[in-house]
Amino acid sequence: MGIIRFILASSVIALHCNSLLGLRLVGGDIAVQAFYIISGFYMALVLDGKYNATNWNGYKLFIGNRLLKLYPIYWLTLFGVLFC
């Protein structure tokens, strides 16, 4: 599933760069939609399998881990934009 997501992300990059090494992959709109669909499926799979989302504690653990993974890069980017 990761390889498919990589190919779809590469398709979007190729669309923005007008070509990627001379290749034209899937169209940008289709690539973005497919990437979101696959990512949502993968997120639901992880939530159901690893975190036991049938109770509130598993859901809180999942959300906490996502915040710890995502927010540091947001703060770093904000700091870089404001102070560099």
pTM of the model: 0.60
Two structure tokens written together for 29: 């709109």
Report d(CA 21, CA 28) in Å as an integer. 16
Is 76 a residue whose pLDDT tops 90? yes
Q: Which pLDDT score, from 0 to 100, does residue 82 have?
A: 92
Q: Which pLDDT score, from 0 to 100, does residue 5 have?
A: 80
Residues 2-61 have pLDDT tens digits of 788 888 888 788 777 765 566 666 777 788 888 889 888 988 888 888 887 677 888 888
